[in-house]
Chains A and B, each alone.
Chain A
Amino acid sequence: MNRTLMNIIRFVALVTAQVLLINHIRLGGYVHPYIYLIFVMLLPLNTPGWQLLLSGFGIGLVIDLFMGTLGMHAGATTLMAFCRPAIIRIVSGSQKLEMNREPNINQVGFPWFLRYTFVMVLVHNFTYFMLEGFSFHLVGQALLRILISVPVSVFLIIVVMYLFSRDKGKMRDKR
């Protein structure tokens, strides 16, 4: 399948799932899992920098429009996209990756993907909750929210990856 079309479908599917499904998870009011980050995480490894930044900004802004948090998600995802090349370098170490592919869990293996997800989610959540905390002068609570939300987000992202990655692997073999 065309890579651009694939990404558009993924964008719409992730925003819909985030807004209509995941946002209804409210265990005690502190948990905010964000799975829409998968969109930025799965962009091919050789994606040009400006595309990476605009993708992050774009999906963040759309999520902001739905949540009434103008600027917060966009700011956090843009920073996450900016850090992505560095994070990939640090997480990979000596491991060699195929640059023209997506960092899919099937290609890169579970340990790599778990480290990658954890750092990316941490960067995003830290920025988001700090922006939210500073806007409302509640920094202590923001830290608590980060502590609780990061593991839940990482868990959900890994689950989603396992649910959907098998089909994608098949698709790639056909190509």
Chain B
Amino acid sequence: MYNLFRFIQKHHFVILFLVLEVLCVWLLTLTQGYHRQKRINTTNDIVGGVYETGTHIGDYFRLGKINHELAEENALLRRQLAATIDTTTGFQEIVNADTVYNFIPARVINSTVNRPNNYILIDKGSADGIEKDMGVVSSNGIVGIVADVSPHYASVMSLLHSYSTISVRFKNDEEQIATLRWQNTNYRYGIVDGIPTHLRPKPGDTIVTSSYSYIFPENLMAGTVVELIKSPDGTLNQAKIKYATDFASLKNVYVIQHTSLDELELLIQNQQMP
């Protein structure tokens, strides 16, 4: 026993080092894998509070730009409203669109773009009606999906995440569905997979969300095509796209609340039963 203590005393530096490193690796394994990653995140009120304070300070220096963005969005919404009322779109459709999706405004208080898996922290949480798996959009385009919520904050898995796959389509082709994912290199560009060879997307073509998702409403802007990447074996092509959202300067976002989601999920559950 005495020898053991002598040994520990003599090599305490190395032993403590090994213990701490094993602890780190154990912590690291806790956060690996999709579901675990969702659960253990920076969504706690202390971390959120510090980031929020920092954002408040930074906001004073950006008031002009933020005002300008909001004014532009207002103008856009006014134009859309005028267009909806003027054209032949029926009253019934407007009502339906309003009742299915509710938009909760939120502020980005922290975000990353330079990690293999990026998250965005926003200043609204379960107390404001935000739940896991809700879609998040900015005035420019889609942003991500809520991964984790605490009472007053939520962490959003951005499109810049290795697990992020979004069902999309080309704006000028209603039929064909493809998948949008991130290529893990640059925060401005993503990849659209599964484009059949008969489709010939041109640079500048718009990519929007498809109707095959209950997280995002249909027709939300995702990005524009930069170039078509032909597959070497002549099957499904890919396209490099530029995201509509600038993730590096994201400030105001909206969380999409699907008001009849429970009903929809029940239906899907029943469908899967034998």
Return the chain B residue nearest A52 by Cβ: B13
Query: A74-82, A100-108, A116-124: which lies at the B interface?
Result: A74-82
Task: Looking at the assembled complex, report how far the CB atom of A120 sits from the nearest CB atom of chain B, in whole angstroms.
Answer: 16
Residues on the B chain within 8 Å of A72, using CB: 24, 28
Interface residue B42 (Cβ < 8 Å from any Cβ of A): yes
Compute how far the CA of A79 lies from the CA of B50 in the bound complex, rounded to whole angstroms.
Answer: 28
Known: A19-B54, A53-B20. A74 touches B27 (CB 8 A): yes
Of A29, A67, A71, which is within 8 A of B24 by CB? A71
Compute how far the CA of A23 lies from the CA of B42 in the bound complex, rounded to whole angstroms.
Answer: 15
Task: Looking at the assembled complex, report how far the CB atom of A152 sits from the nearest CB atom of chain B, in whole angstroms.
Answer: 12
Residue from A20, A29, A67, A75 with most neighbouring chain B CB atoms (10 Å)? A29
Compute how far the CA of A12 lies from the CA of B32 in the bound complex, rounded to whole angstroms.
Answer: 29
Residues on the B chain within 8 Å of A31, using CB: 114
Known: A66-B50, A138-B184. A29 touches B25 (CB 8 A): no
Of B31, B57, B119, which is within 8 A of A71 by CB? B31
Q: How many residues of B contact A (CB 8 A)?
A: 39
Residues on the A chain within 8 Å of B31, using CB: 68-71
Compute how far the CA of A68 lies from the CA of B157 in the bound complex, rounded to whole angstroms.
Answer: 12
Task: Looking at the assembled complex, report how far the CB atom of B181 sits from the nearest CB atom of chain A, in whole angstroms.
Answer: 14
> Which DSSP category, helix, strand, loop or mixed, fits chain A's interface?
helix
Residues on the A chain within 8 Å of B16, using CB: 49-50, 53-54
Residues on the A chain within 8 Å of B162, using CB: 136
Residues on the B chain within 8 Å of A87, using CB: none
Q: Are B187 and A29 in contact (CB under 8 A)?
A: yes
Interface hits, B9-56 → A, CB 8 Å: 12-13, 16-17, 20-21, 23-32, 40-42, 47, 50-51, 54
Q: Are B25 and A68 in contact (CB under 8 A)?
A: no
Residue from B23, B50, B115, B186 with most neighbouring chain A CB atoms (10 Å)? B115
